[in-house]
Amino acid sequence: MTMEAYRYEDGSITYPGHPRGPNGDDPVATIDLSDHAAEVVTWTTSNATPPGVREPNHLAIVEFDIDGQAVRALCQLTTGEVSIGDEVRPVYCEELRDPGAGIRDAASQSWDGYRFEPLE
């Protein structure tokens, strides 16, 4: 699974990717952010989580530097032992939440994605 961002003609990058860039351009390339490290911009811990989401749930806004272009993502963390400025990397996770806990049919949704863990 990839963590796909889109690059546009003007050099901008969006995550998640959008069919139109900031200037209305079509995407010209994709970038797999899971191949890159990021820096924690800010983070928090939620103790009141939606059904099926682990508690506590550690969340962060992280920033990738892709060819000098800042790309931010909101993500789950593997631990609450992080600080602003820490370097983290995406780690694939088959279930970000319990598929049986929601009101929708579990087979109708994708439950996998990425959590971020600190680099040592």
What is the tens place of the pLDDT at every residue in 93-112? Answer: 987 777 677 676 767 666 78
Write down the pTM of the prediction.
Answer: 0.86
- Give residue 53's pLDDT: 84
Tell me which residue of 78, 73, 74 sits closest to 31, measured CA to CA.
Answer: 73
- Give residue 97's pLDDT: 73
Query: How far from each other are the two terminal CA atoms of the chain, in whole angstroms?
Result: 24
Average pLDDT over residues 52-60: 90
